[in-house]
Amino acid sequence: MGIGSLASPFEPCRTMTPSSNSAALAFDAIAPQFDARFGAWGSVAAQRRAVRAALLREFPAGGTILELGGGTGEDAAFLAAQKFQVLHTDPSPAMVSLASKKIAPLGSSAEILAAEDMEDFAERKLAASSQLFDGAFSNFAPLNCVADLRPVARGLARLLKPGAPAMLVVFGVFCPGEMVTELLRGRSQNAFRRLQHGKAAARLAGRDFSVVYHRRADLLRSFAPWFRLDKRLGIGIAVPPSAAEPWITLQPRLLASMEAIDRLVARPLAGLGDHVLYQFRRTQIDAPGDGI
C-alpha cells in the first residue's frame, strides 16, 4: 500500500491510502469487534503477559519503540503507560484508528503501514528525521501474513540503533497444544496445518487470505547479516492456543498452572510454543541502502 509523507514518528495518526492487502482487509472488517471477541480470553491474556514481560526486560526505560502489526493497540497502550514512546503501525485503517484513540492520550501515535512496505517507510522516515528507534516488536504473528520477510529486515535495519532488540512473535510450526485441541474438537484438517510449507489458506470475518508458517532457518536467513538471534522463547507451550477457548478461560486455576509451567520451559522448549518469540539484536553491520 502507499503511505503518506512522514515527519516525526510521534505525530497523531494521519490518513493514508487504505491497504489492498487481503489480510489487512480481513482484519479491517473485524476491527470493531476484535477486542470484545478476543480480549476476554484467558489464553490470549496469558500469552500476552509472557510477551510483555520479555519486552520490558529488553527495551530501555523510556525508549522509542516501533510496533509492527499492532492491531487495536493493546500492547502499544501498555508500553505507552510504562513511559515508552511507541509508534504503532498496522496495515488496517480501522485497527489504526482504534489504536490511536488508546495511545494518543499517552503521548504515542499510530500509522497505517504494511510490514511489506518497511523499506519505503524507513526511507521516508530517515529523510524527515535522523532519530532511530531503541527497539521494535511484533506480537501475535502479524508477520505470518508476510510471505517474504527480507524487506521487513532491511527496513528495520535502517531504523534501529546498533544493539537494539527486535522482538518478533510468530506462529510456532510444531504446536502440540493445537494438534491435541483440534483433534479433540474433530477438526483434523486443522491439527497439522502448521507443518505446511509455503502459503496456507486462512479465513477471518468471511474474507480469505494467506499465511506462511516461517521456519527458524528462514527467519535467520531473512534477518542476516543485520540482525543476530539472541534467543527464542516459546509463548503458549502449556498454555493452550485460542482453539481451546472459551473452555480454558473457565478453568482459571488450571490456566494459572499452565502459565507457571510456561515460564519454566519457555526457552528450552521454545519450538513447541503456539507462538515463538524471536529475540533478534541489531548488529554493527551497515544497513542496506544507507550509501555507506
Q: What is the pLDDT of residues 193-241, one digit of tens each?
A: 999 999 988 888 888 888 999 999 999 999 999 999 999 999 999 999 9
Highest mean predicted confidence (pLDDT) among 16-20, 37-41, 101-105, 207-211: 101-105
Question: Cell numbers 510454543 correspond to what residue?
Answer: 273
pLDDT of residue 109 exceeding 90: yes
Out of 16-20, 51-55, 190-194, 212-216, least confident range: 16-20
Amino acid at 111: E
Provide the pLDDT for residue 144.
96
Mean pLDDT taken over the chain: 90
If you average pLDDT over residues 43-53, what whole number do you get? 98
Residue 17: inside a domain, yes or no? no
Question: 116: Cβ–Cβ under 8 A, 6 or more apart, which residues?
Answer: 21, 146, 148, 151, 152
Q: Is 192 a residue whose pLDDT tops 80?
A: yes
What pLDDT score was predicted for residue 107? 97
Provide, rounded to the nearest whole percent, the portion of the chain with pLDDT above 90.
Answer: 76
- Rounded Cα distance between 233 and 235, Å, is 6
Look up residue 24 and give its amino acid: A
The verdict on residue 179 lying in a domain is yes
Residue bearing the bigger pLDDT, 30 or 257: 257
Amino acid at 270: A
In a domain, 225, yes or no: yes
- Residue 115 · residue 19 · CB < 8 Å: no
Q: Looking at the predicted structure, is the pLDDT value of residue 130 above 60?
A: yes
Which helix (H) or strand (E) element contains residue 36?
helix 22-38
Domain CATH code at residue 272: 3.40.50.150
Record the cell numbers describing residue 83, joined without a space: 513511559
pLDDT of the residue at 290: 67
Which pLDDT score is estimated for 2?
Answer: 24
Is 278 contained in some domain?
yes
pLDDT at 291: 53
Cell for 158?
A: 535502517
| Residue located via cell numbers 485441541 | 181
- What is the residue type of 208? D
The percent of the chain in helix, strand and coil, each rounded to the nearest 5, is: 45, 20, 35
Which pLDDT score, from 0 to 100, does residue 3 have?
Answer: 22
The 10 Å CB-count burial string (b at 16+, else e) for 82-118 is eebbbbbbbbbbbbbbbbbebbbebebbbbbbbbbbb
Q: Please check whether residue 1 lies inside any domain of the structure.
A: no
List b or e across 9-40, with b for residues whose CB sees 16 or more CB atoms inside 10 angstroms: beeebbebebbebebbbbbbbbbeebeeebee
Q: The dihedral of CA 274, 59, 156, 112: what is its sign?
A: positive
The total of structural domains in the chain comes to 1
Tens-place pLDDT, residues 246-281: 999 999 999 999 999 999 999 999 999 999 999 999
Domain membership flag for residue 8 = no
- Nine cell digits for residue 289: 541502502
124 CB-near residues (< 8 Å, 6+ apart): 3, 5, 6
What per-residue confidence (pLDDT) applies to 246? 94
Q: Which segment of 31-40, 75-84, 101-110 scores lowest on mean pLDDT?
A: 31-40
Write down the pLDDT at residue 267. Answer: 98
Catalogue the E-assigned strands of 164-284.
165-171, 199-204, 207-212, 227-235, 275-282
Q: Does residue 182 or residue 28 have the better pLDDT?
A: 182
Residue-number span of the structural domain to which 76 is assigned: 22-282
3-state secondary structure of 273: coil
The secondary structure of 160-198 as a DSSP string is BPTT-EEEEEEE-S--HHHHHHHHHTT-HHHHTGGG--S
Whether 196 is covered by a domain: the verdict is yes
Distance CA 116, CA 32 (A): 24
pLDDT digits (tens, 9 = 90+) for 141-159: 999 999 999 999 999 999 9
Task: Give the global pTM.
Answer: 0.90
Residue 44 in domain: yes
Residue type, position 99, single letter: A
